[in-house]
Structure 1
Amino acid sequence: MINNPGLEKKLWVESFRYSLSRRTYATGEFCDYFKKYFEDIPFQARELIFKELEKTKARDGWVGDDCDKQEWLDLVDWITKTSNSP
């Protein structure tokens, strides 16, 4: 990974925000990479992404566009099962 935690956090969060509510392959790709590199992602980035997913889910009743909804819901479940906290 990048040897700059601030930059790495920024890249993960920006990638997440770009992918959220998009009708694009980027959603599935982001979720796959997030799971693959979960332990290497800065904690602050994981925490922020999880909080934003939960906030969006609570506000809208679901996460992302219809075509991406299941990808995001599966990621929330995966994060919850994988660790006690993001």
Structure 2
Amino acid sequence: MELRQLRHFMAVVTHGGLTAAARAELIVRSALSTSVRNLERELGAELFDRTGGTAGSPAGSPRPDRGPRRAGARAAQPGGGGTPRPADGI
């Protein structure tokens, strides 16, 4: 696991999707997607539910008891669409 992969994961959550995250990280979308998939493979868990968009899976969700919930807070609201949204608990 590399720090870069964790940064890419957080960028997807923070920016609401792969395209915006890739733009923010100044890399192409395919490289970002590969980085996140490699992280998922190393962890042995899917961090995003990719059916109909890129939504947070239970494994990719921040724990509610671990500080402020900043990442994905906007996407967690009703009508957030297919953007990453943390699920409840791990």
Whether these two folds match at TM > 0.5 is: no
Normalized per residue, the structure richer in strand is 2
Normalized per residue, the structure richer in helix is 1
TM (norm. structure 1) is 0.35
TM (norm. structure 2) is 0.34
